[in-house]
């Protein structure tokens, strides 16, 4: 596996809407004016967490660029379109109603840290 990297990130600060101390490089969504973990592939993902803030602290979320991301599905190949698992890790997008967080930069396995080219959009039948 190629070493996971982050590069050229655009990062925005949000208030953490829950404790995110164990969630660096996981997928985030909005909850009011705060961010919390995305827990479904159909959530409206906002980006990838770059730090590990406590509840109520500032959370740095990458919304563009290449970010490290925690994988939640085994044996994904370079170019796979990614979305969120129930634990905010990355899995391959496979249904028309799911929301993409981006594209896998290199092959990665479950629980590894991969690299994701962030590209957030609602999928359609051609992506699944």
Q: What is the pLDDT of residue 109?
A: 81
What does each C-alpha distance from 53 to 5, 16, 41, 85, 88 come to in angstroms? 21, 7, 23, 21, 16
Query: In this model, does residue 101 exceed pLDDT 80?
Result: yes
pLDDT per residue as tens digits for the range 40-68: 999 999 999 999 999 999 999 999 999 99
Q: Which residues contact 3 (CB under 8 A, 6 or more apart)?
A: none
Q: Hey, where are the domains in the chain?
A: 1-128
Region 102-108 average pLDDT: 90
Between CA 108 and CA 74 the distance in angstroms is 7
Where do the DSSP E strands lie in 25-98? 27-31, 34-37, 45-49, 58-70, 81-84, 90-92
Query: In this model, does residue 128 exceed pLDDT 70?
Result: no
- CATH architecture of the domain 1-128 equals Beta Barrel (2.40)
Region 111-125 average pLDDT: 85
Q: What is the pTM of this model?
A: 0.93
């Amino acid at each position: 596996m190629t070493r996971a990297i982050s590069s050229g990130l655009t990062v925005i600060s949000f208030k953490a809407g829950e404790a995110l101390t164990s969630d660096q490089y996981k997928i985030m969504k909005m909850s009011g004016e705060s961010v919390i973990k995305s827990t479904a592939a159909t959530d409206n993902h906002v980006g990838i967490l770059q730090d590990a803030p406590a509840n109520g602290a500032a959370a740095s979320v990458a919304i563009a660029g290449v970010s490290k991301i925690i994988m939640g599905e085994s044996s994904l190949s370079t170019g796979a379109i990614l979305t969120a698992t129930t634990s905010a890790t990355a899995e391959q997008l496979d249904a028309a109603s799911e929301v993409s967080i981006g594209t896998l930069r290199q092959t990665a396995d479950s629980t590894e840290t991969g690299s994701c080219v962030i590209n957030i959009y609602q999928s359609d039948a051609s992506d699944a």
